[in-house]
Structure 1
Amino acid sequence: MKPHSLRHQPRRLRRQAAMRALLRETHLHPSDFLLPIFLVEGEAIRSEIASMPGVFRHSIDSALRLCSDAVDRGIPGVLLFGVLDAQAKDAVGSASWASEGLVQRASRTIKERFPNLLVIADACFCEYTDHGHCGVLDAHGDRDDNATLENLQQQALSYAEAGVDVIAPSGMVDGMVLAIREALDAARHENVAVLSYAIKYASAFYGPFRDAADSAPSFGDRRAYQMDSANRREAFRELDLDLGEGADMVMVKPAMAYLDLIRDVRERCDFPVFAYQVSGEYSMLRAAAQAGYLDLQNSVLESLLAIKRAGADGIITYSAVEVCDWLR
């Protein structure tokens, strides 16, 4: 039987590696990534997190070596989380705004050593409160947003004074961006940017992070202030509110399970859009690879390409350093 003659055969443009590379629409580059770092007190500490193979808690001196690795690979910035011992925590998370706090000291040291590396500080309280919730609680165990906003302003100011370039509020506190922006501007920190976790879902994929940061709530959960995973239109309200309050950049979290939201946000606004490949997304790929079910490099790269293809300008990922080595 005579084969059909087709004018258009997509396979013509797929047969050769060089052709595929030439026509590839989405590319990953080291400048796409931000690297999260978990900080602990002490010296010479590099302690692997059991639920996140390949990710470590670092004392400041160890974190500097990780920052050097990031700079060498062209990664533009790091996202800092402080992990405190239980005795350093209290009901309001006051250690988070201490001038000599863990994140503050780390920020100053990093900026002294690597002045061109962006330092982003997560602004929340779950790692600092003895109850593990993201702010001040009232007598009924509910979050008091007004009191939390006042503390968030203190936290943001302490970070700015320590040299942080970007404040990233993650607590889903109504009015958080406006409160931070007003506090920064009043203190003449107009050049400090705000990257809002504008669209943060109450997700099952945060489990390993809560292990890493010792931030699991001691009772209840965070569904009263994080978004319902079933909702899409609600994300637009959150986005519009935070942009209206002065956010410079916005984030969708998690990433892989919310690619539709990344695309929605990208199409809805002209501001930079970030996505966070969260701990559970990181760990499930590692676990599958360790079990022999997936090829680690190919599956991680494919997941990151999907996030960027959906519309993310930047990706926060624990795989950042390793991925940059793969891309060389």
Structure 2
Amino acid sequence: MPFPQIRPRRMRRTEVLRSLVRETHLAPDDLVWPLFAVPGQRVRNAVKSMPGVFQLSVDELVAEAQEGYEAGVRSVILFGIPERKDAQGTEAYAEDGIIPRAIRALKEQVPGMVVMTDVCMCEYTDHGHCGILKAPKAGGPGQDLQVDNDATLPLLAKEALAHAKAGADIVAPSDMMDGRVAAIRTLLDGHGYQDVPILSYAAKFAGAFYGPFRDAAESAPQPGPGIPKDRKGYQMDPANWREALREVELDLEEGADMVMVKPAVPYLDILRLIRDRVDVPTAAYHVSGEYAMIKAAAERGWIDEDRVVLETLLCCRRAGADLVLTYYAKHAAQLLSGKKR
């Protein structure tokens, strides 16, 4: 039989040819860098479960963001650890809170950086849940406290407004309360912030990949009488894909400008389903557990860290992510720009 005339390997022969026909590209400005802000000055607390990640005082955070910007990272997302926590998470919406202070400093000192902010209550409540807790109705199922969806909505909206007033470019609700996008959009618009976009954590799954983040953000659910031990009551069941599409649809109806899938790699199928159905920018969050696994394997010499990082982020882009949130943002940007060898 004659040898096949179709030879796909022809276009793989050299790097120049491979680059010529490459379908998906990864660039530094595709990446969003999560940073953790804490009170104080010259604070740089290492997160043990996330080598290379730190809790940073505002001055250190600005310096870190400047390094990222020089490497090509053009966007950060901020998480805050407040001076104090309480049951209502009041520091979350304080206009002089840790995140508004960080926003103002970044906008002044790194003016070209897009500043996104996480909008949630878990870092600010003493119980560690993403909303206000209430007692179950008498005669109802279960005895545990429950997150009060509707009572939480105005507090999330106030948090987003505080961030917008400080100069945030984008607010990103991650709480998974029903109706929070509409509540935030209404309050922002009512105060003249119609131009502040909302990036919704629309399909956020109650998975097992968040542990290191909760060390960094000090946001794990706290043990106590009646306090739910996990967030399965409001984050999504990992088994469900149709529900993810419904969550995205609802958030877009409420006014979301962008939507996110979290975690990233274990849910690339969900990301592709969403990308194929919506025409708004779509993000994937390469979360702390994914980061920590790469770090751990690399430290043992089991993988080539740089290659695995770039391949992982590229695959998020290939699956449909316009933006990838990743703790590797500066590292990857340096690799892509040739500034890290």
For Structure 1 versus Structure 2, the TM-score category normalised by the shorter chain is over 0.9
Residue among 42, 45, 56 paired with 1:44: 42
Which of the numbers 151, 154, 159 marks the counterpart of 2:155?
A: 151
| Corresponding residue of 1:314 | 323
The CA deviation at 1:115 is 2.2
Q: How does 1:64-213 map to 2 (within 5 A)?
A: 64-85=62-83, 88-140=84-136, 141-213=145-217
Q: Which residue of 2 aligns with 1:250?
A: 259
Given that 2:82 and 2:97 are in contact with CA atoms closer than 8 Å, whether structure 1 keeps it comes out as: no
**1:326 matches 2:324:** no
Q: Secondary structure at the match of 2:293?
A: helix
Percent of aligned pairs with the same amino acid: 51
- The Cα shift of 1:114 comes to 2.0
Matched AA of 1:306: C
Q: CA deviation at 1:212?
A: 0.7
Q: Please give the per-residue CA displacement for 1:76-110, whole angstroms capped at 9, x wherever unaligned.
A: 2110000135xx00001000111110001110111
Contact kept, 8 Å, 2:72 with 2:334, in 1: the verdict is no
Match of 1:280 in 2: 289
Distance 1:115 1:184 in 2: 22
1:295 correspondence with 2:304:
yes
Deviation at 1:5, TM superposition (A): 2.5
- Cα distance in structure 1, aligned partners of 2:158 and 2:334: 39
Matched residue type, 2:32: L
Give CA-to-partner distance per residue, 1:116-169, whole Å, 9 cap, x none: 211111000100000000010002410111110011111111111111111100
For this pair of structures, how many residues does the alignment match?
Answer: 324
Task: Give 1:70 shift.
Answer: 2.0
Report deviation, 1:4.
Answer: 4.5
Distance 2:11 2:112 in 1: 41
Q: In structure 2, list runs of 5 or more residues that go unmatched.
A: 137-144, 224-228
Unaligned 5+ segments in structure 1 are none
Q: Work out the CA distance in 1 between the residues paired with 2:117 and 2:9.
A: 47
| 1:62 equivalent among 47, 53, 60 | 60
Q: Secondary structure at the match of 2:124?
A: coil
Q: Distance in 2 between matches of 1:156 and 1:302?
A: 34
Give the AA of the match of 2:263.
Answer: P
Provide Cα deviations, 1:217-246, integer angstroms capped at 9, x if missing partner.
014110000000000000111011000000
TM-aligned CA deviation for residue 69 of structure 1: 1.2
CA distance in 2, matches of 1:4, 1:52: 56
Where 2:79 maps in the other structure, the secondary structure is strand
Which whole-Å CA distance do the structure 2 matches of 1:72 and 1:102 have between them? 24
Report Cα offsets for 1:20-65 as digits up to 9, x if no partner. Answer: 1222111110110011000111111112110001111110000011
User: Scaled by the length of structure 1, what TM-score is found?
Assistant: 0.97
What's 2:233 paired with? 224
Moved over 3 A (4+): none
TM-score normalised by structure 2 residue count: 0.93
Hey, what does 2:11 align to over in structure 1? 13
Which stretch of the first structure deviates more once superposed, 11-20 or 73-82? 11-20
Q: Is the 8 A contact 2:275 2:282 kept in 1?
A: yes
Shift of 1:73: 2.1
Aligned counterpart, 2:142: none
SS of the equivalent of 2:240 reads coil
- Look up the SS of the partner of 1:251 in the other structure: strand
- SS of residue in 1 equivalent to 2:321: coil
- CA offset at residue 198 of structure 1? 0.4
Select between 268-277 and 45-54 the one with higher mean Cα deviation: 45-54
SS in 2 for 1:54: coil
Where does residue 226 of structure 2 map in the other structure? none
Task: Give the residue type in structure 2 aligned to 1:70.
Answer: G
- In 2, Cα distance between equivalents of 1:73 and 1:4: 52
